[in-house]
Structure formats: C-alpha cells, structure tokens
Amino acid sequence: MKRIIIIGGGITGLSAAYRLSELSGERNCPLDVTLIEARDRLGGVIHTVKRDGFLIDSGPDNFITAKPWALTLARRLGLESELLTTNEAHRRALVVRQGKLIPIPEGFLLMAPTRFMPVITTRLFSLRGKLRMAMDMFLPGRKGNDDESLASFVTRRFGREALDRVVQPLISGIYTADPETLSLQATMPRFLDLESKYGSVIKGMRAEAKLHKTKGSGARYGMFVTFRDGLQTLVHALGDRLNHVRFRLNERVVQVAKKAAGSAIPYWSVELKDGTSMEARGLIITGPSRHTARLLTGVDAELAEQLSAVQYASSAVVHLAYRRDQVAHPLDAFGCVVPITERRSIIAASFSSVKYEGRAPEGYVLLRAFMGGGLQQEMMQRDDEGLIVAARRDLDHLLGINAAPRFAMVHRWPDSMAQYAVGHLQRVAVIRKQVGLHKGLQLGGNGFEGVGIPDCVRAGERAAEELFRIL
Ligand SMILES: Cc1cc2nc3c(=O)[nH]c(=O)nc-3n(C[C@H](O)[C@H](O)[C@H](O)COP(=O)(O)OP(=O)(O)OC[C@H]3O[C@@H](n4cnc5c(N)ncnc54)[C@H](O)[C@@H]3O)c2cc1C
C-alpha cells in the first residue's frame, strides 16, 4: 500500500484526506494515510463550543457558497439537511462613523454601490465623497495588468473617503489586512474583471446585482451558510468518514527530509517533536505557510524562503452573551465594522444570534468581537481579561449595553490569517514551480490561493488529486 502523510488536521488537511479516500475507493487503489495534528483535536481554526445553551463558533462561523467547494464537500458527506442559511431579516451591516453606528447604504457591497438612492441619502459620505464615488462610472479603466493594492484600486475608482469610511473596515473584517499592502488580484479579482468588462465597477456591480437579485449591504449575506450545530459539523463528519486514516493528535512535526532524492519518487521522512520519525511516498503539508517554510528549510532553502515571505496576522475573537433586554440597540443588522480611523479596539463585531438561528437561548443574544489583525497586531499583546475589557468598552458604547455579560470567552488564533501582499500570485507561481521539483510533495492551506473555507477545501482536494496522480 502506498503510504501518505498529511501534516495538519484543519479543513485543508481533512479535505485532502477525504479526497484521497474517495480516489482510493473509486480507483480501487488502497492507500495508507496518516494525518498528524499538533492540537488535541481536528478542525484547526474551525471549532464549535457549547455553553449554557449558546452555540459558539470560536473561529470562522460560516462559508460562502459562491465558491462551491465547501458546499459540494458538505453535500458529498450527506450534510445538506444540516445546512443553515442566514436569517432573512436584517441582512445588512453597520459601520462606525464618528463614534456612532450607521447602516452601510442598502446595496453597497464590499467596495461599491449597486443602488444610487441609498448612497445619495446616507450620512456616511460627504457630498464631495459621493460625487467622487460616482466618477467611477466615467473614469477610464487602468491599462496593463500589474497587480495593485486594494487601497490603490479603491482610491483610483471611488476616492479616499470610500476607502476610509467603508471599504477598509469591510475588507479588514474578511482579511484582517492592511488595504495599502493587500493584493487586489489575489483577494478580489472580481472587481478587476468588472472594471475591464464594464469599464466601471458600479455599472458591473449593478448588472450582477440585477442578475443575482442581491439584497442587503456589506457582504453578500444571502450566499453564506453554516450548519445548524455549528461549523464543527463538517469536521466531525470528515473525522467519522475517515475511520481508515490514522490520526495522530498531539503530535507536532518539527522537520521534513527527502530521502533517496535520486530515485524516480523519493521517500519523505517526517520527524516528530518526540524524536521519532515516519516515512512515506507522498507528503501533504498544510497550515500557515510560514510554518511549512520552517519544516522544509533542509529540503529546499529557496522554497522555504518564498513560503516564509507570506505574512500572517494573529487575531482574537471575544464572545459575549447578554440578556436581550440588556442591549439597547435594536440589533437590526448582522454586525458592524469599525474603520481604523475611528481608533477603537475592535475591528468588527458580529451579532451571531441575529445572523443565524439557534446561537443563543430565547431572550439572550450572542455577540462576537474581532480584535487584532494586520492593522492592530498590538492588541494581541493584551491578556484575555484586557481583551474582554476593551471589547466590552467598545460594545457598551456602540450598542448601549450597561450590564455585565452572562459570560465572556476569548479565543486566540495566532498566525492564522495570511496577508496576501501585492505580487502574491506571482510568488505563488514561483512556489508551485519549486514544489513541482519535489515529487511526492504537495502544499495546501490558506497561504496560497484564498483564505476562505471553500478555498482551503479546494486546496486540500487539489493537493490530494495531484499526489494521487503521480503515486
Ligand atoms: C477568527 C477567524 C475567522 C474566520 N472566519 C471565516 C469565515 O467565517 N468563513 C471562511 O470561509 N473563512 C474564515 N476564516 C478563514 C478560514 O477559517 C481558514 O483560512 C481555514 O479554516 C484554514 O484552514 P487550514 O486547514 O488551512 O489551516 P488551520 O485551520 O490553521 O489548520 C492547520 C492545522 O495544522 C496544524 N499544524 C500546523 N503545523 C503543524 C505541525 N508542524 N505538526 C502538526 N500539525 C501542525 C495546526 O495545529 C492546525 O490544526 C477565518 C479565520 C479565522 C482565524
């Protein structure tokens, strides 16, 4: 039997293992797969906790279906009936402006408006800012196809006010990144396509919104789903189906070596923290690419250097549970985002129990505050109590809360969000080429072609398919 080792039991590693088991079944080619995970559980940043009747997704809390790979995986696992869409009511987001929450204009999706009236009447932008945004419909498209930063694109098309007051916080809510360095090609290529296809992002967005009947503001909330019992449903289902895979939890890989490098297919030797090692014909390494870089330094210094150049940011999520009557705000949205110019401690907050049913018991609400990220890494120096105090101070002020929460929980996600810098796709191409020199090696994770759960599912599945093809 061909032996394969997968490093990392997050959604990328699990998707790789599942795809391998599908291929092995379909082609009647038995495989001996071991998955090594440093934590005492599977799932990586996907982790669901239950407490006092609350259902808390402590890392990600949903995924987009417009990128189909996670949804398809859920269907293949027979989880379709467990899927939960966002609540129909309140599919919109708020933004902080001069210390107050105001709605992001109806139809304003991530970067640009799809409707005129809500932008004309909003207090969010000045008259000058609104006129500058409208210029997108008349400005020529950019020549050439060099990568540019998200900030450069938005200021070029819509002006600085749009960037500072709404796009920066919306994008930070997804990528926890600095728009001045974030690659547009690697994160939001859709907007580049709209610019080149329609000559104007607004015209393109309006055409698409009509086509898809998109409603709301902020993200395209109608396209997001989770599971009734939390995102860990996906992890549990994968763990259950992979009963022939040897899971080695609480084991950290510290080094990888390539053996018999001269042969057609080399052996991969994986050294664990306890000093023992294992060998395999195929190796899939997942997790943050900076960690992968450390494992591969002895195998390929050039590859390791490229991998370590992909920066990561750490973040924390503070979960707060309140009685509904302790929160004065109507909570008539899925959450709020906070521009960096507002100088607050939180970068965004999600009203979890408004967004998805079953997240809080009757008469209570569950709030999630996001902290840290590329623009506020210094927040991660605070201890848990310090994060709770800072999150509560912001939410008390913004939402009119004047009571202590029933409970507060902090979840930290160190080095977990890849920050795709301008030129990222070119770097990924170099990495792919270099990996191609090492037969039997595949890399996956959120450091390459997408940070979302669907992207990671696809990355894991591709790694499995590539490996299966050559073994
Ligand atoms: C707070 C937060 C909120 C998010 N929200 C969303 C969201 O709502 N929707 C969405 O689509 N995406 C979201 N994301 C992004 C998405 O969840 C992640 O990009 C994705 O889950 C990463 O999966 P992964 O398997 O690549 O990495 P991870 O989940 O990081 O898993 C990697 C695993 O590898 C293990 N590992 C690493 N090194 C070693 C080693 N040397 N030896 C053994 N094991 C090792 C780690 O312990 C870890 O368990 C969010 C991310 C965060 C942090």
For the cut 90, the answer to whether the pLDDT of residue 441 exceeds it is: yes
Nearest Cα residue to 290 out of 414, 454, 150 = 414
Q: Which has more pLDDT, 208 or 7?
A: 7
CA–CA distance, 112 with 191 (Å, rounded to integer): 9
How remote is the CA of residue 359 from the centroid of ligand 1, in Å? 22
Pocket test for ligand 1, best of 15, 45, 62 (most atoms within 8 A of CB): 45
Ligand 1 centre and the CA of 312: distance in Å? 12
Question: Which ligand 1 atom sits nearest the alpha carbon of residue 294?
Answer: 41
CA separation for the pair 186, 167 (Å, rounded): 17
- pLDDT higher for 258 or 221? 258
Nearest CA to ligand 1 atom 10: 452
Given the candidates 3.40.50.2000, 3.50.30.50, 3.30.9.100, 3.90.660.20, the CATH classification of the domain at 62-89+313-417 is 3.90.660.20
What's the pLDDT tens digit per position in 322-353? Answer: 999 999 999 999 999 999 999 999 999 999 99
175 C-alpha vs ligand 1 centroid, how far in Å? Answer: 13
Ligand 1 atom 48, closest CA: 44
Q: What percent of the chain has pLDDT over 70?
A: 97
Q: Is the pLDDT of residue 261 over 80?
A: no
266 Cα–ligand 1 center, Å: 29
Whole-number Å distance between alpha carbons of 338 and 11: 29
Indicate if the pLDDT at residue 98 is higher than 70.
Answer: yes
How close is the Cα of 330 to the center of ligand 1, in Å? Answer: 33
Measured from CB, residues less than 6 Å from any atom of ligand 1 are 7-13, 36-39, 44-46, 59-63, 252-253, 286-287, 291, 315, 317, 413, 416-417, 445-446, 451-453, 456
Which DSSP string do the residues of 268-330 spell out, in sequence order?
EEEEETTS-EEEESEEEE-S-HHHHHHHHTTT-HHHHHHHHTSEEEEEEEEEEEEEGGGB-S-
The whole-angstrom separation of Cα 322 and Cα 364 is: 6
Nearest residue (by CA) to ligand 1, atom 1, is 59
Kindly tell me the burial class for residue 304, based on how many C-beta atoms sit within 10 Å of its own C-beta (0-12, 13-18, 19 or more): buried
Distances (CA, A) of 383 to 211, 319, 373, 389, 411: 47, 15, 16, 10, 11
pLDDT tens-digit series, residues 203-254: 998 888 777 666 666 677 888 999 999 999 999 999 999 999 999 999 999 9
Residue owning the nearest CA to atom 29 of ligand 1: 44
Q: Which of 4-13, 169-178, 206-215, 319-328 is the least confident region?
A: 206-215
**CATH code of the domain made up of 2-42+231-310+420-470:** 3.50.50.60
CA atoms of 337 and 93, how far apart (whole Å)? 8
- Do the beta carbons of residue 65 and residue 224 sit within 8 Å? yes
Nearest residue by C-alpha to atom 5 in ligand 1 = 60
The alpha carbon of 415 and the centre of ligand 1 are apart by a number of angstroms equal to: 9
Closest ligand 1 atom, residue 14 Cα:
25
Q: Which class for 211: exposed (0-12), middle (13-18), buried (19 or more C-beta within 10 A)?
A: exposed
Phi, psi angle pair for 98, to nearest 5°: 50, 50
Nearest protein Cα to ligand 1, atom 50: 60
Cα(419) to centroid(ligand 1), Å: 14
Give the mean pLDDT of 355-375.
97
- Residue closest via CA to ligand 1's atom 8 equals 60
Which is it for the CA torsion 251, 249, 18, 457, positive or negative?
Answer: negative
Domain ranges for the chain, please list them.
2-42+231-310+420-470, 62-89+313-417, 107-217
Could you tell me the pLDDT band of residue 1, with boundaries at 50, 70 and 90? confident
CATH code of 107-217, in short, is 1.10.3110.10
What pLDDT does 218 receive?
65
User: Over 90: is that where the pLDDT of 471 sits?
Assistant: no
Q: What is the pLDDT of residues 265-291, one digit of tens each?
A: 789 999 999 999 999 999 999 999 999
